[in-house]
């Protein structure tokens, strides 16, 4: 079981408000980008990483890869206007037919065992995503008024990685482009082909660093992993 992974890293980090790409922020003295890359660098099942980057970050990112001995990046592609465009630019450079993962560079806490379960599921079914059951009670709201309480047991918060057979993801991206469809994740593009997407239960630590308070959660997750208050 091997896979390649596309890491979209070409965002602006506007909601983080750090004035630069949030992937350059440090956790435990190491940039977020490197935390994420190291997971795949150290996973024997990962055969290559394709990194979508903003041209303004190129020299800094490449210097970091060198400094932290990241060797598995086989391709750099320019990011696009939206995350989906960045991923499509990366997907166009893939010319094999195995399994491809798409993983947000801003999710540094993904664990190898979940990657492997996900990859196996995608090999068996074509498409698999990782997520966690919703914990909060969910309401449907319109114009500041609750319209309904949504049955929680059927709701999952979805994360990345998302894993696909490469020809299937290619077809999904081609259709999305033809239809000018912009989704918020890769699964939504595959769902439009009416292909079933399996879900694998991950964990709540696999957060995406989006707003400043996520950095506090990140520090706590790191401490937990170091066994400081296990």
Q: How many residues does the chain have?
A: 230
Minimal distance in Å, beta carbon 87 to ligand CTP?
Answer: 7
Which CB, 13 or 126, lies closer to ligand CTP? 13
- Among residues 97, 125, 130, the alpha carbon closest in space to that of 114 is found at 130
Minimal distance in Å, beta carbon 182 to Mg ion?
Answer: 12
208 makes contact, choosing from ligand CTP, Mg ion, none, with CB < 5 to 8 Å by partner type, with ligand CTP
46 makes contact, choosing from Mg ion, ligand CTP, none, with CB < 5 to 8 Å by partner type, with none
Q: CB nearest Mg ion: which residue? A: 11
Minimal distance in Å, beta carbon 12 to ligand CTP?
Answer: 4
Sketch the per residue contact string, 1 through 40, with Mg ion: x for CB under 5 A, - otherwise: ----------x-----------------------------
9 makes contact, choosing from ligand CTP, Mg ion, none, with CB < 5 to 8 Å by partner type, with ligand CTP
Contacting positions for ligand CTP (CB under 6 A) = 8-15, 22, 52, 79-83, 86, 104-106, 208, 210
- Among residues 30, 7, 33, 35, the alpha carbon closest in space to that of 21 is found at 33
Which CB, 11 or 161, lies closer to Mg ion? 11
Which CB, 37 or 128, lies closer to ligand CTP? 37
Minimal distance in Å, beta carbon 59 to Mg ion?
Answer: 22
Which CB, 143 or 213, lies closer to Mg ion? 213
Q: CB nearest ligand CTP: which residue? A: 11
Minimal distance in Å, beta carbon 72 to ligand CTP?
Answer: 17
Q: What are phi and psi of 100, to 5 degrees?
A: -120, 140
Burial class of residue 114, CB neighbours in 10 A (0-12, 13-18, 19+):
middle
- Among residues 55, 57, 51, the alpha carbon closest in space to that of 25 is found at 57
80 makes contact, choosing from ligand CTP, Mg ion, none, with CB < 5 to 8 Å by partner type, with ligand CTP
Give the interface with Mg ion as residue ranges (CB under 5 A).
Answer: 11
């Amino acid at each position: 079981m091997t896979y390649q992974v596309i890491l979209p890293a070409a965002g602006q980090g506007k909601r983080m408000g750090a004035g630069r790409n949030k992937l350059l922020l440090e956790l435990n003295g190491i940039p977020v980008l490197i935390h994420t890359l190291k997971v795949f660098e150290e996973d024997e099942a990962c055969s290559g990483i394709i990194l979508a980057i903003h041209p303004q970050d190129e020299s800094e990112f490449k210097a970091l890869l060198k400094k932290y001995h990241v060797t598995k990046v086989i391709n750099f592609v320019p990011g696009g206007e939206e995350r989906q465009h960045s991923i499509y630019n990366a997907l166009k450079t893939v010319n094999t037919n195995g399994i491809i993962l798409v993983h947000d560079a801003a999710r540094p806490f993904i664990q190898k065992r979940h990657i492997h379960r996900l990859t196996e599921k995608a090999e068996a079914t074509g498409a698999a995503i990782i997520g966690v059951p919703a914990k909060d009670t969910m309401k449907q709201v319109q114009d500041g008024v609750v319209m309904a309480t949504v049955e929680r047991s059927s709701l999952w918060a979805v994360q990345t990685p998302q894993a696909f057979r490469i020809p299937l993801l290619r077809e999904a991206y081609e259709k999305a482009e033809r239809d000018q469809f912009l989704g918020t994740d890769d699964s939504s593009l595959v769902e439009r082909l009416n292909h079933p997407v399996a879900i694998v239960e991950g964990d709540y630590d696999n957060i995406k660093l989006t707003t400043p308070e996520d950095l506090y959660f990140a520090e706590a997750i790191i401490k937990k992993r170091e066994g400081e208050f296990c």
